[in-house]
Amino acid sequence: NIFFAITFCLIINNTNLFSQELNGPTSWDVLGDVFSQPNVHLQVGKKKYEWYGSGDVNNDEVINNKDLEEMLSGTQNDMSDIDGDGMSSTSIDRTILQNYLNENIEHLPSHWNLLVTEDEKINWLEKMIAVEDVYKYNSDKWICENFIQQMEIDFYGISNIEKFVNEQKAAGEVEYYKPHNARFNLPLQYFATVNTNGKPYAVGGVLVGENPLNFYDWYFISMNCENNYARIFPGDFDMDGNHYAKMIKTALVKTDSVSSNNYFGYVKNLLNFDLNQNIGSLSEYDSERLLLDNPYMFEVEIEEMPDTKINYQANLETTPNLTGTPKVTVRKSKQIASLDYADGKKIILNNTYPNQNYYFFRTWTAKLTQRGITKAGSVIQKIIVSDMEKPKGIVPPEISITKELKDTYGGLSTTITGKMIDVNDNSNLKVGESVNYQFIYENKEKQVYHAFHTLIDVFGNDTTFAPQFINVLKPKIYFGNIADILINAESEYQNLSSGALEAEGIKAEPTVVT
């Protein structure tokens, strides 16, 4: 079975999201991401958490107990309205922040990137719309598109707003309100549509579901002087059910077609929906620029590692090349997770030979940071180092000995048959040797034995080798030549014993040679 480590996430410094110049063009990575807090507030010079309900009450770019102290002292600002009811530093605000600091809750209500359910997102969005109260911008020149444009400025933010407002005024348009630029840090989009009178209309849209290509994962908003706030659906006055809803962004952009100029333009065709009989469906989208997966909902999985046994060698290095690495899978992101490891202390298993027999734990961590969020997973691998290698050597060659030599030494032994040569072991420690002699067969000339040599190291690793052949030669008797003896029957030599004949100088016995 394959198991995967649980992933976890945390908020980290998000100032690294904008490497582009202050008040410069907004990157396409940001413009194409309809899931996330756009963080344009950083691009226009605000601080890390300088947005509504963030919890950084003293605006020092850290959310901690100092912010709670500021709330207790009565500080009133956007960051201290934690519950989003339009009132700052209330007892409820303090309680929520305290729970967050005590880690009783994972995030504050305003931490949009960490909100999971539609209900969470809609709840915060509607509260911010109520706080926004765009009606205060009303003048006789304002129409629907101006209200939605102002909402986009306040919710999403626009880089170099001074340039934008001045260009609009020069073109005879209304003067937009600048102080609340990027106030809410929420991904509200501008949509062009048609009302039931058949006239072009503008509404706001926020993705509250998981799929930007699904019309019903969007929350559409009408904001105008006649109806201060309303969530709208196809068929309502503000969105006729038989036309379209097209996302259009106004942003300071830089494109290849305008080689070195930054300009404010309408980014079109990122996402278009068709409306037919009050049913919304996808018409087209920019597959290169529109992000389809929530960059904060990505997953990092790291496969469990089995216990790994390694044979001891001199100068052993227990690197991942030897021990293996876990498989890391990243889902809902095209990014690649980093993979690092840290080794624990060595645990000795044999105090006599501490370098040859021990284990330790290696902690693997896979990590990916995307849009200011880090997700990681970890597994622990047990690595065991032990001498598992058998000793080596060369068996002595076949040997022939005499039975007399064997008998002289009281039987077969390595003294007369030879010991193994070039004996070695990976631990460079003493190796023991034993020999088992087995009788195989005999004939009139010899006895044949097998000598089975066995080497064993101090850790019990042993090797019995192919047998050495031992030939024990039997003695052979040879008689020397002897001349015939001719004796006259009448002779005085009647005693024919060998001794008597030998006494008379006659060779009576052959010479015996072995």
**Regions of the chain short of the pLDDT cut 50:** 1-19, 258-260
pLDDT tens per residue across span 168-191: 889 888 889 999 999 999 999 999
DSSP state of 33: -
Q: Which residues contact 131 (CB under 8 A, 6 or more apart)?
A: 52, 81, 84, 86, 184
Rg (CA), the chain: 47
Whether the CB-CB separation of 222 and 203 falls below 8 Å is answered with: yes
For the chain, the farthest-separated pair of C-alpha atoms sits apart, in whole angstroms, at 177
Place of tokens 């649980």: 6
Distance of CA 371 to the CA centre of its chain: 18
76-106 as b/e: b if 16+ CB within 10 A: ebbbbbbbbeeebbeeebbebbeebeeeeee
Residue-level pLDDT at 402: 94
Q: Are 305 and 331 in contact (CB under 8 A)?
A: no
**Range list of H helices, 299-390:** 320-323
Rounded Cα distance, 81 and 309, in Å = 57
Residue 285, amino acid: Y
3-state secondary structure of 147: helix
Write out the DSSP string of 380-448: EEEEEEE--PPPEEEPPPPEEEEHHHHHHTTS--HHHH---EEEE-TT----EEEEEEEEEEE-SSEEE
**How distant, in Å, are the alpha carbons of 80, 99, 399 from that of 108?**
11, 9, 88
- pTM score, two decimals? 0.66
Burial (0-12, 13-18, 19+ Cβ within 10 Å), 446? middle
Q: Is the dihedral of CA 261, 262, 268, 269 positive or negative?
A: positive
* Short-list 284, 283, 286, CA closest to 274: 283
Q: Where are the alpha helices (DSSP H) in 171-275?
A: none
Contact 23, 44 (CB under 8 A): yes
Task: Please report, in angstroms and rounded to a whole number, the separation of the first and last CA atoms in the chain.
Answer: 76
Closest CA to 391 of 353, 358, 427: 427
DSSP class of residue 241 equals T
Burial of 60 (0-12, 13-18, 19+ CB in 10 A): middle
Write down the residue that tokens 């344009």 correspond to.
40
Cβ 179 vs Cβ 190: under 8 Å: no
CA pair distance 135, 145, nearest whole angstrom: 13
Q: How far apart are CA 120 and CA 113, in angstroms?
A: 11
Helix (H, G, I), strand (E, B) or coil at 229: coil
**Distance, CA of 476 to CA of 380 (rounded, Å):** 73
> How far is 509 from 482, CA to CA, in rounded Å?
7
E strand segments, 132-199: 189-194
Residue 141: predicted pLDDT: 80
Do the Cβ atoms of 299 and 278 come closer than 8 Å?
A: no
Bridging pattern class, strands 200-207 and 218-222: antiparallel
